């Protein structure tokens, strides 16, 4: 087995650098790219948001990935255990434990709404395979999504199925077989996305779609949109939920961290951009409202499948891959909390997983109901689903990134990071240090302040 629970000793780790890249990419690439990125870009007016997101990923992405991973790798414990060990070893305040708590709990909160969306994808596998969408128009496809949201029983079923699937995989010792399946799934997802991009460029409103995504209009740039772009950058790279920390704890000491982080950030960004290019020309060609909200992808893609030759088959495969990408992310969302329960409370792995999965499931039920039975309950126009999304992506996750940057950049001795980042040249290390010390904390603080 490539990966074992951290309690079972420091000698167990991912088989190779490639396995870590695959696992980290599996965590990063998910609904954040294919569902959330287009929906956020649409809701925040397009180009200005996309540019800010790209700037954040380019400047902060790789360094923040390194920061989380190095703590896990150096301590070889669950994130909470790692922070305990770290604060003891360096005789620093136990305040820093909050990074791990914030992240582990944040992961469970993300899991709650993530499994609802992943449940839609499971349902859409069946819907697409049945030929429901064949030859249909925008109105019909939009109606199907409306019915999806209006039916809590059906949504609860698929939400439960996805949660159970994640629990089953995590209970089995996380990732026996993850390597093999990802090695195969990621390239197929990539190829299918390219195919969709080709179709969208051939048949969609390319001019309108691409100019929406890539035309920078500074007047669209509110502080709220900047915070959402930061939140999206952090969310899509799986940062701030200590997922990369827990995966780092399974990483062998000698592996190059710097290059690995850059590779993960690049792959993740490529998938998000391809998804955007696949979706927006179709959105504009069919008069779909870009700011339609969380259903954007579930309306625009089926519409493309409805009309393209072989769409029933390609669409089915596509939703299978979205669900698979979602599972490889969701396991990293609950793994930090599970690893802690196993380590500290000597619960069996399956009991721990069921406890954490159960907590996420309960919150997820609230998300399901927020689209129908409880839709009247909103705070500042946000339902329960939106609130969980906002609290994590826009608050707890950027905060976690800021705290960990302060910890590594200022509190721990330089020698700690220099050893961990041994593959960086002196210049590369200085760049990392400057970003970690100044740009991350100041950037996050400024953006929080103006919100
Ligand atoms: N990065 C994942 C995605 O884009 C979501 C995620 C966030 C996973 C935080 C783990 C931790 O879908
Ligand atoms: Na992502």
**Ligand 2 mean position, distance from CA 333 (Å):** 12
Mean pLDDT of 159-171: 94
Rounded-to-integer distance, Cα 80 and Cα 337, Å: 8
CB of 31 sitting under 6 A from ligand 1: yes
| Ligand positioned closest to the Cα atom of 393 | 1
Ligand 1 in contact with 110 (CB < 6 A)? Answer: yes
Q: Out of 10-19, 268-277, 330-339, 341-350, pick the least confident.
A: 10-19
For residue 32, the ligand 1 atom closest to its alpha carbon is 4
The answer to whether residue 391 scores a pLDDT higher than 60 is: yes
The per-residue pLDDT for 6 is 41
Mean of pLDDT values over 46-75: 97
Q: How far apart are CA 97 and CA 53, in angstroms?
A: 29
More confident residue, 374 or 177: 374
Pocket test for ligand 1, best of 57, 103, 182, 236 (most atoms within 8 A of CB): 236
- Does the Cβ of 401 fall within 6 Å of ligand 1? no
**Atom of ligand 1 lying closest to residue 27 CA:** 8
Residue recorded with tokens 């029933």? 312
Distance separating alpha carbons of residues 325 and 261, to the nearest angstrom: 19
pTM of the model: 0.94
* Domain 6-449 architecture: Orthogonal Bundle (1.10)
Q: Average pLDDT in the 401-429 region?
A: 97
Average pLDDT, integer, range 265-276: 97
Q: Is the shortest distance between the CB of 241 and ligand 1 below 6 Å?
A: yes
The pLDDT confidence band at residue 13, using thresholds 50, 70 and 90, is: low
Rounded CA separation 58/249 (Å) = 25
Q: Which of 24, 25, 28, 297 to mutate to test the pocket of ligand 1 (most atoms within 8 A of CB)?
A: 28
27 lines ligand 1 (CB under 6 A): yes
Tell me how far the alpha carbon of residue 121 lies from the centroid of ligand 2, in angstroms: 16
CA–centroid distance, residue 329 to ligand 1 (Å): 6
Which numbered ligand comes closest to the C-alpha of 265? 2
Instruction: Please tell me the predicted confidence (pLDDT) of residue 177.
Output: 57
Query: Does the pLDDT at position 178 exceed 90?
Result: no
Q: Could you report the per-residue pLDDT of 248-258, keeping only the tens digit for each?
A: 988 877 889 99
What pLDDT score was predicted for residue 39? 96
pLDDT in tens, 317-356: 999 999 999 999 999 999 999 999 999 888 898 999 999 9
Domain ranges across the chain: 6-449
What pLDDT, on the 0 to 100 scale, is given for residue 9?
A: 38
Reported confidence tier of residue 5, pLDDT bands at 50, 70, 90: very low
Distance 199 CA to ligand 1 centre (A): 27
User: Residue 2: pLDDT above 60?
Assistant: no
pLDDT band at 175 (very low <50, low <70, confident <90, very high): low
Task: Quote the CA–CA distance of 398 and 392 in Å, as a whole number.
Answer: 8
pLDDT tens for each residue of 285-308: 999 999 989 999 999 999 999 999
Instruction: Please give the average per-residue pLDDT across 418-439, as a whole number.
Output: 97
Q: Is 244 in the pocket of ligand 1 (CB under 6 A)?
A: no
What are the tens digits of pLDDT across the range 61-110?
999 999 999 999 999 999 999 999 999 999 999 999 999 999 999 999 99
Does residue 25 have its Cβ closer than 6 Å to ligand 1? Answer: no
List the single range of 14-28, 54-68, 258-272, 289-303 with lowest mean pLDDT: 14-28
| Mean model confidence pLDDT for the chain | 93
Q: Is the CB of 28 under 6 A from ligand 1?
A: yes
Tokens of 274: 């391809």
Residue 4 above 50 pLDDT?
no
Q: Is the CB of 236 under 6 A from ligand 1?
A: yes
- Pocket lining: 38 vs ligand 1, CB cutoff 6 Å: no
Residue of 26, 27, 112, 234 with the most ligand 1 atoms within 8 Å of its CB, for mutation? 27
pLDDT at 169: 87
Task: Check pocket membership of 447 for ligand 1, CB cut-off 6 A.
Answer: no
CA-closest residue to ligand 1 atom 11: 238
Evaluate if residue 129 carries a pLDDT over 80. Answer: yes
pLDDT tens string 368-389: 999 999 999 999 999 999 999 9
Q: Could you read off the pLDDT of 206-233 as tens digits, one per residue?
A: 999 999 999 998 888 899 999 999 999 9
Task: Name the pLDDT band for 8 (thresholds 50, 70, 90).
Answer: very low
**How much distance in Å is there from the Cα of 244 to the middle of ligand 1?**
10
Q: Give me ligand 2 centre to Cα 173, in Å.
A: 23
Q: Is the pLDDT of residue 3 over 80?
A: no
Handedness of CA 331, 337, 341, 342 (dihedral sign): positive
């Amino acid at each position: 087995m490539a990966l074992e629970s951290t309690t079972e000793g420091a000698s167990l780790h991912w088989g190779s650098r490639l396995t870590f890249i695959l696992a980290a990419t599996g965590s990063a690439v998910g609904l954040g790219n294919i569902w959330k990125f287009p929906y956020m870009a649409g809701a925040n007016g397009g180009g200005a948001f996309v540019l800010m997101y790209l700037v954040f990923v380019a400047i902060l992405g790789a360094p923040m990935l390194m920061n989380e991973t190095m703590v896990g790798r150096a301590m070889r414990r669950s994130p909470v255990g790692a922070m305990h060990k770290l604060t003891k070893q360096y005789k620093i305040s136990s305040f820093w434990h909050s990074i791990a708590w914030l992240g582990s709990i944040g992961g469970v909160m993300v899991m709650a709404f993530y499994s609802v969306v992943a449940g839609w994808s499971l349902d859409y596998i069946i819907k697409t395979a049945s030929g429901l969408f064949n030859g249909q128009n925008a109105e019909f496809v939009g109606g199907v999504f409306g019915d999806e949201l209006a039916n809590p029983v059906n949504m609860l079923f698929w939400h439960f199925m996805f949660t159970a699937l994640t629990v089953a995989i995590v209970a089995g010792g996380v990732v026996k077989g993850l390597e093999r399946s990802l090695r195969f799934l990621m390239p197929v997802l990539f190829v299918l996305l390219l195919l969709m991009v080709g179709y969208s460029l051939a048949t969609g409103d390319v001019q309108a779609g691409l100019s929406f995504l890539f035309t920078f209009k500074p007047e669209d740039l509110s502080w709220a949109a900047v915070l959402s772009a930061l939140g999206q950058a952090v969310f899509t790279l799986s940062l701030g939920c200590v997922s990369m920390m827990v995966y780092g704890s399974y990483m062998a000491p000698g592996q190059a961290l710097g290059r690995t982080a850059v590779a993960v950030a690049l792959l993740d960004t490529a998938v998000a951009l391809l998804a955007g290019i696949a979706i927006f020309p179709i959105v504009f060609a069919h008069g779909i409202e870009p700011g339609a909200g969380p259903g954007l992808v579930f309306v625009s893609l089926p519409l493309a499948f409805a009309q393209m030759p072989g769409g029933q088959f390609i669409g089915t495969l596509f939703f299978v891959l979205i669900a698979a990408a979602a599972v490889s992310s969701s396991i990293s969302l609950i793994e930090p909390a599970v690893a802690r329960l196993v380590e500290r409370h000597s619960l069996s792995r399956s009991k721990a997983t069921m406890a954490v999965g159960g907590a996420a499931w309960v919150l997820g039920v609230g998300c399901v109901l927020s689209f129908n039975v409880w839709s009247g309950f909103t705070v500042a126009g946000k339902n329960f689903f939106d609130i969980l999304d906002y609290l994590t992506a826009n608050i707890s996750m950027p905060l976690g990134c800021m705290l960990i940057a302060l910890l590594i950049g200022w509190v721990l001795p330089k020698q700690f990071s220099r050893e961990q980042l041994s593959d960086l040249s002196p210049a590369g290390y200085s760049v990392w240090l400057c970003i970690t010390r100044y740009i991350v904390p100041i950037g996050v603080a400024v953006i929080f302040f103006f919100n």
